[in-house]
Copies of this chain bind each other. A is one copy, B any other.
Amino acid sequence: MPKPQPVNHPPSDLPPEASERRPDRRAQRTRQQLRDALIALILERGYDAVRVEDITARANLGRATFYLHYRDKEALLLDSIRQTVDDLMAQVSAFAPPHLEAGSEAAAAWLQRAIALVFDHAAENATLYRVILRGEGTAAISQRIHAMICQAVITYLDAHRPQQAPPVPAEVLANYFAGALLGLLTWWLEHGMPYPPQSMAEMFYRLFYEGIGHLTLPPISPER
């Protein structure tokens, strides 16, 4: 009777397909059940109110089984998030031409497309996105997502901005962009996605590109 040593603890070590050992269907199924149970319970009760035993009960597993696969609750959540974020990042960078001409229409089209892709991906993984964007679990998670978007914007600006000095610092622009995108995305998911992803992407892009000055507000007052 061998000791039940940790199966593969985190699958973060190696991608399972590249590993030399087949991953046993039971373990795969168990991990999937744990992931699903966790995000379902978080949406029901909130992260802090979910105990390990709740997760395993929902997944119809023994409590000890949990620790064969994950160190703790947080590791389980991080694993779920990592999978989904990696998937999105791969999709976004998949169709990115290596060198876009600065200020070209192609660059703008790419940006529009990238935004639409984010909304599409969020719609497909709505439950997990809601958990992430709510900041449930470690608050550092949504911060990391925000930082990733900022980094992407700054990289984009470095590549596609004309050489003239920018009117606002790149970091300011990036954080403005990331905050607006995540804010809109969060509202959209929490309200049952009342508009199609394409519409959301277009509205966001237009707000970001044109601002609202020509729509509802008077010009900037000269004083101050």
Contact = CB atoms under 8 A, between A and B. Distances in A.
Contact of A178 (B139, B162, B183, B206): B183
B213 A109 contact: no
A182 B178 CA distance: 10
Nearest to A182: B179
Contacts of A39: none
Contact of A143 (B116, B134, B177): B134
Question: Which of A182, A200, A213, A216 is the most central at the interface, judged by chain B CB atoms within 10 Å of its CB?
Answer: A216
B213 A210 contact: yes
Contact of A218 (B105, B186, B187): B105
A181 interface: yes
A41 to B, nearest CB: 15
A150 B188 CA distance: 13
Contacts of A136: 139
Contact of A220 (B47, B200, B206, B223): B206
A58 interface: no
23 contacts: A48-B138, A103-B216, A104-B218, A105-B218, A105-B221, A108-B220, A111-B217, A112-B221, A135-B139, A157-B216, A161-B216, A162-B216, A166-B215, A166-B216, A168-B206, A171-B191, A175-B183, A175-B186, A176-B184, A179-B180, A179-B182, A205-B220, A211-B212
Interface of A: 46-48, 103-105, 107-109, 111-113, 116, 134-136, 138-140, 142-143, 146, 150, 157, 160-162, 166-168, 171-173, 175-184, 186-187, 191, 195, 198, 200, 202-213, 215-221, 223-224
